[in-house]
Amino acid sequence: MLDLYQLSLTAVLVLHALSLVPQWQHQYFNPRLLRVAMLGMMLGMGQGAVIVAAVEHATFVHGGGIAMLGAAIMMHAWVALQNLLASYAFVNLHRPCAIMAYRMLWAQRPLGYLSAALTMVAGFTLM
């Protein structure tokens, strides 16, 4: 199960990194999009640390902590995908990406905070 979480977290971190590529190619960085990508990468490192700690302590009996960590990673994936779409739409003026990014924008901040909170709770539960 934790291998799936590691793979999902790697995909999320790749999405955050890919959101920086269009901005880097055009040599213009939007401060909001850059902040979301950097905070997302830091959150991903924290989630990775919780996964490593869970594997090291072999805490498979705490199903609630594992489930919370999985939910946190999925919420983090939503934020990363929204940021990638917004970055691509911002730099390339791509209307379909802009529409999808705008439709997903309502959940970006709450899901980011909730993902961080669930990661902390899962970390304390699994330790």
Q: Check if the beta carbon of residue 63 is closer than 8 Å to that of residue 2.
A: no
Residue with tokens 């590529």: 21
What is the pLDDT, as a whole number, of residue 58?
66
DSSP assignments along 35-52, one per residue: HHHHHHHHHHHHHHHHHH
Q: Please list the pLDDT of the chain residue by residue as tens digits (127 residues).
A: 778 889 999 999 999 999 999 889 888 888 999 999 999 999 999 999 988 888 777 656 566 778 888 899 999 999 999 999 999 999 888 899 899 999 998 988 999 999 999 999 988 887 7
What is the pLDDT, as a whole number, of residue 60?
61
CA dist., res. 10 & res. 17, Å (int): 11
pTM summary value: 0.87
Q: What six digits make up the tokens of 125?
A: 């539960």
